[in-house]
Structure 1
Amino acid sequence: MGSLSTVLLLILAGFSVFGAEAATKQYKFDVQVKNVSRLCHAKSIVTVNGRFPGPTIYAREGDRVVVNVTNYAQYNLTIHWHGVKQLRNGWADGPAYITQCPIQSGQTYNYDFNITGQRGTLWWHAHIFWLRATIYGAIVIMPKPGTPYPFTQPDLEMNLVLGEWWNSDVENVVNQANQLGVPPPSSDAHTINGKPGPLFPCSEKHTFVMEVEFGKTYLLRIINAALNDELFFGIANHNMTVVEIDAVYCKPYSTNALLIAPGQTTNVLVKANQAPGRYFMAVRPFIDVPIPIDNKMATAIFQYKGIPNTVLPLLPQLPLSNDTNFVKIFNDNLRSLNSPQFPANVPPKVDRHLLYTIGLGQNPCSTCLNGTQFTASINNITFVMPQTALLQAHYSKINGVFTTDFPDRPVKSFNYTGAPLTANLGTSLGTRLSKLKFNTSVELVLQDTNLLTVESHPFHLHGFNFFVVGRGVGNFDPAKDPAKFNLVDPPERNTVGVPTGGWAAIRFRADNPGVWFMHCHLEVHTTWGLKMAFVVEDGKGPQQSVVSPPKDLLPC
């Protein structure tokens, strides 16, 4: 699985060595509980190597990465390498009970994978329960030696990982909400590199500061690791040029703010060309539905060298929390670079057309204090997590774990985004997967619905990148909307935001055999069942089948 020419032990973030050839990068992740203080409050959280956020994985395109994970926490655990394609190697993908059984307390598992044809910013996080609230970190993939960025070379790079903070143990918070049959409460703060900034009480020392020099250009690698919030980001008085999304280069786009959904990454260039001073970098949620607004703003400081800390920072003018017009303009301006070196290989023809409706609803619950519980479904199917990992069942041909009859479109058609139906249209439970022949070109339309309420949904597909060829508000019209698809330079992503009360159309080629999860990256919706999986069959060629499982594959 890649060259073994160089073996490097890289445990702490910020330390990396790149040779002229592909190398094996080895990391050791010790998952443990650590006492952390934020917002006048200290609590024990699950961390990696005692750090929050966790260490950064550094690699080059073509490298092999081996991460030794030992679980010292009380929870079962898996780690997902978000956006890494894991070609033929779902064993390293990480979602619990999809591609592997969890790493139980006291156990160790090695994630062993290649970085093939990818460069840019991705990230890693826990993929079980709500543990990714504190278990996450960046993945930085540098281009091959001698290959420059296709944009202005920055003087310095910086990772900005956006997250959420709960004052109480997040697993207890979720369990209590489930018992009541209500959504879990929103987080107590947002964070930038684990710190909420000085606008929160008792948080003056919990502020991330980035020192810059006048005239220099900086590449910010921004990751939204928040559990449930799409976020606006901006820097006071400074424009940003978007040059990469989800580890794919894009046409440069200048903006004073950006929107980034949970699971997405965005690289921007920033020129330190303003009057030397202290400027706030800030995030706050984008919410365009009639629910109580979580408007908590987290801040960090963009500070020019030589400026004393006594200077009061300026706040950026972020879009209003419900500014759908800004969101549309921002998304419309994201285009693939589509250069000879980095082409946009959009499937020109479609073998399989899929329409998946996204529904939120309520079901009766005799054990819930409210008598009902929230549910979520795709094509009116609420996904049931199996007790045996799906990839293991598929590879070893174990019967009875799942079926492959997930419907290509909803059984019942209706006015998807019309008046709320406050019903589930016969929602069923099941571990039902969709089977795709190897190399099938797929067009998938994700359609939001108003069963209970409309809401935006960032959907993440494991194992693949895809092209976002179209999006719109209202019901998708198969007779008219495809004529407006962008098949030339659509954005290439691994996570797409489905608009509130609207739809998004993606295309991808199913050329990666295995079992691949697809789910909403709002953790509350995933918990309620807004998820499914694809089974991509082996091809006929020698490099078109799932690789053998590792020797240390854990049993359930």
Structure 2
Amino acid sequence: MLTVNGQFPGPPLYVRKGERLIVNVYNQGTYNVTIHWHGVKQPRNPWSDGPEYVTQCPIKPGANFSYEIIFSVEEGTLWWHAHSDWTRATVHGPIVVYPKIGTNYPFPKPDAEFPIVLGEWYKGDVMEIIQSALISGGEPNTSDAYTINGQPGDLYNCSKPGTFNIMVDYGKTYLLRLIGSIMNEEMFFAVAQHNLTVVGRDGAYIKPIKTDYIMITPGQTMDILLTANKSPSHYYMAARAYIGASAYDNTTTTAIVKYRGNYSAPSTPAFPSQLPNFTDINAATNFTNRFRALANKEHPIDVPQTVDTRLYITISVGAVPCVNNSCQGPAGGKLAASLNNISFVEPGVDLLQAYYRKTGGIFTADFPDVPPYFFNFTADGLPSNLSVPLKGTKVKVLEFNSSVEIVFQVTNIFNAAENHPMHLHGYSFYHVGSGFGNFDNKTDPKGYNLVDPPELNTVAVNSNGWAAIRFRADNPGVWFMHCHLERHASWGMDMAFIVKNGPTKLTTIRRPPRYLNPC
């Protein structure tokens, strides 16, 4: 397996708000690799953002690259991960952004903190798994286990001696920095008999949410307060998949919360009875709809009240034909995902260099603002001719400082509707609205929250539904946007924005570093 400094998960990075880091990455593995600093806006610095063939050519085996990571307004928990094929399955780790010296958390300082990284374990080579699936055209193999901080936990026979645990003292409060590094499933998470208070998400603070369970998507992070106020004993923290229709992998990963003190430890820790079932769409929706930005003087927000550019983007999983229907996807085709019916084709030269150096023939600037045709996107039994996307490397160009609204619309092609965690690089955005069914551009905007919407970098778009986001295009560069379900990204559920330079040096893309990896 590919690891960083021999660790799984990889080593955490600790910074204070507004600082910079230089991270030297040496590729001693056998596959190409890049690293993305998920949720870090990297102002004017797309050169160190990391997605392979979008902002850089890969770091080949034996090569290295120095990333300059520029933190600005982020505060809380973020994470880093590989952004080259499926290498992120084992190449990932936490980023902890502390408040600036002289400032404090907007909640009582916790007594201690623990990173809680939700991941997966594959017995096979993950790169071979996805490459085989792309050749055959069918679904990739599922993981063999979920993990908490690299360990599957007691419910898997293989790992009981190594189950991760945290030690707590009665009466103290702990900050759990929860990271959704899962490859292909959203996850429910809970701690037996304990209530949780969510105080941050995606590197921004929120109005506190008291809850007995969490729902987190791949790519998201949450800051969660846990008070050790139960009878001293052993308690499971547990996580399992949320899938709107049927579970992709129906196993459960566990870790143990252990109280210090003299008591008789149970043979089996208490299990969280409040952990929702795999298909509990109401639990997922009710939790997600509770988020509101803190939006106070110390942590202000700036929601665009008017919009210059509107995009209505359909999210689809379809298929392209194979000769003699010889592939393993639907109707003998090859699975292909798309945004507005465009299935992204990875270029041979990274988009950022092509744009910066004005190299022609690498991409076209005609990503559509709306889908090519409209139909009942969430109907059952949609005809198969709606499922064939076009292949292309298309980008959307945005004027500097323009206000942008994107409405993501899930489609039910192949009756395969599921939640989609959409992640935008280089920005946080405001999640102003969500709903089920087809978005109505006359009535649904009336229900937008333009006062205190949460500021995110990854939004879960409801199965058979839609989500609306707004942001201001004030970070020049080339910025990737994609579904964080890794199989969907591999099938082409990706696109890129080019944000033009502003009028001054401080609103212009920085010059590239002296060394860029060749393609």
Does TM-score exceed 0.5, indicating one fold? yes
1:418 to 379, 387, 410: 379
Aligned to 2:153: 197
Aligned to 1:22: none
Larger RCO: Structure 1 or Structure 2 (Cα < 8 Å, ≥ 6 residues apart)? 2
Q: Could you list the per-position Cα deviations for residues 357-397 of structure 1 after superposition, in whole angstroms to 9, with x for gaps in the alignment?
A: 01111221239543411011111111100010101111111
Q: Give the residue type in structure 2 aligned to 1:535.
A: I
Aligned to 2:483: 520
2:299 to 336, 342, 361: 342
Shift of the 310–133 alpha-carbon distance from structure 1 to 2, 3 Å rule, reads same
Matches within 5 A, 1:294-333: 294-306=249-261, 307=263, 311-317=267-273, 318-333=275-290
Cα distance in 2, alignment partners of residues 332 and 178 from structure 1: 35
Aligned to 1:167: 123
Matches within 5 A, 1:225-244: 225-244=181-200
Matches within 5 A, 1:353-432: 353-366=310-323, 368-370=326-328, 371-421=332-382, 422-424=384-386, 427-432=389-394
Aligned to 1:102: 58
Q: Give the residue type in structure 1 aligned to 2:481.
A: M
Where in structure 1 do 4 or more consecutive aligned residues deviate above 6 Å? none
Cα distance in 1, alignment partners of residues 249 and 287 from structure 2: 22
Q: Secondary structure at the match of 1:423?
A: helix
Cα distance in 1, alignment partners of residues 95 and 264 from structure 2: 33
Shift of 1:425: 5.5
Aligned to 1:468: 431
Matches within 5 A, 1:118-157: 118-157=74-113
Cα distance in 2, alignment partners of residues 175 and 145 from structure 1: 47
Matched, 1:177 2:138: no
Q: Give the residue type in structure 2 aligned to 1:466.
A: F
Q: Give the residue type in structure 1 aligned to 2:333.
A: T
2:457 to 473, 480, 494: 494
Q: Could you list the per-position Cα deviations for residues 96-117 of structure 1 after superposition, in whole angstroms to 9, with x for gaps in the alignment?
A: 0000000001111000122112
Shift of 1:431: 0.4
Shift of 1:308: 6.1
Q: Give the residue type in structure 1 aligned to 2:260.
A: K
Q: Secondary structure at the match of 1:525?
A: helix
* Maintained 8 Å contact 1:423/1:451: no
**Comparing 310-319 and 264-273, the one that deviates more:** 310-319
Q: Give the residue type in structure 2 aligned to 1:428.
A: L
Q: Give the residue type in structure 1 aligned to 2:423.
A: H
Aligned to 2:509: 546
Aligned to 1:264: 220
Shift of the 425–524 alpha-carbon distance from structure 1 to 2, 3 Å rule, reads closer
Q: Give the residue type in structure 2 aligned to 1:347.
A: P
Shift of the 498–400 alpha-carbon distance from structure 1 to 2, 3 Å rule, reads same
**Comparing 499-508 and 412-421, the one that deviates more:** 412-421
2:499 to 531, 536, 543: 536
Shift of 1:310: 5.5
Q: Secondary structure at the match of 2:65?
A: strand
Shift of 1:526: 0.4
Cα distance in 2, alignment partners of residues 553 and 257 from structure 1: 44
Shift of 1:126: 0.5
Q: Secondary structure at the match of 1:103?
A: coil
Matched, 1:255 2:219: no
**Comparing 57-66 and 458-467, the one that deviates more:** 57-66
Cα distance in 2, alignment partners of residues 293 and 540 from structure 1: 49
Gaps of 5+ in 1: 1-44
* Maintained 8 Å contact 1:381/1:429: yes
Matched residues, number: 511
* Maintained 8 Å contact 1:362/1:423: no
Structure-1-length-normalised TM-score: 0.90
* Maintained 8 Å contact 1:277/1:311: no
Q: CA RMSD in A?
A: 1.2
* Maintained 8 Å contact 1:362/1:424: no
* Maintained 8 Å contact 2:40/2:71: yes
Matched, 1:87 2:48: no
